[in-house]
Amino acid sequence: MAEPIYRRVLVKVSGEALAGTDGAGIHQATLERIAADLVATQKLGVSIGIVVGGGNMVRGAQMSGKGIPRLTGDLMGILATVMNSLALESAIEAAGGAARTMSAVTMPEVCETYERRRALRHLDKSRMVLLAGGTGNPFFTTDTTAVLRAAEIGAGAVLKATDVDGVYNADPKKDPKAVRYDKLTHKEAIERDLKVMDATAFALARENRMPIIVFSIRESRAIETILRGKGRATVVSS
């Protein structure tokens, strides 16, 4: 059995991934599969932080195009990440793992408030930490949150779980001739305006020399496979 290539990681799960075949909301079977994958990965001796997007429920930028102010739309998106995190926390515990949701926006009746040292204590006690509420500010994506929190908790890499098996030069769902990259630098990802993550997230990753591994979450035990150094993925690094 191959040893994990990193002992601490930040897994970024898109909200769309939780929607599964439903296209929106939370698909229970998909939620349970991702939770089982996370628990299996932790059993390798990997410490795991998790950032979940909210796109399966609401996207702030899209809401602003419908008449709702961008600030309000982003706050709605922040709440969506908390709801998704609570759902995944419950699924992880049902799968036999331990997890805690911590929000950058204070809501003590719902979950713990994010504080770096407390998050590290949870990780040291073999609890997965779901880092909800974005950065706590509007106008920042959960991709940027993932890189920020990864740096704060001392993660070795950000694992970006998507619905495609890496980074392409075009949308592979729309362009059958799209070319997949095996490796990229942060600089190349920014200069080529690749949409898998926003430029702020890539820039922050470059400054912190944080590798980003982009892979598909659609397969069973996809996270575990990536951490064993196998599977199809694109590695973005310095």
Q: What is the pLDDT along the chain (238 residues), one digit of tens a residue?
A: 578 999 999 999 999 899 988 888 999 999 999 999 999 999 999 999 999 999 898 876 666 667 788 888 899 999 999 999 999 999 999 999 999 999 999 999 999 999 999 999 999 999 999 999 999 999 899 999 999 999 999 999 999 998 889 999 988 888 989 999 999 999 999 999 888 888 999 999 999 999 999 999 988 899 999 999 998 999 999 8
Pairing of strands 112-113, 183-185: unpaired
Domain ranges of the chain: 8-237
Which residues make Cβ contacts (< 8 Å) with residue 185, sequence separation at least 6?
236, 237, 238
CATH class, domain 8-237, is alpha beta
- H-type alpha helices, the chain: 15-19, 28-42, 60-64, 70-94, 116-124, 142-153, 186-191, 199-207, 222-227
Q: Are 76 and 58 in contact (CB under 8 A)?
A: yes
pTM of the model: 0.93
Name the nearest CA neighbour of 179 among 187, 188, 170. Answer: 170
Which residues make Cβ contacts (< 8 Å) with residue 124, sequence separation at least 6?
47
Which residues make Cβ contacts (< 8 Å) with residue 180, sequence separation at least 6?
165, 166, 167, 168, 172, 234
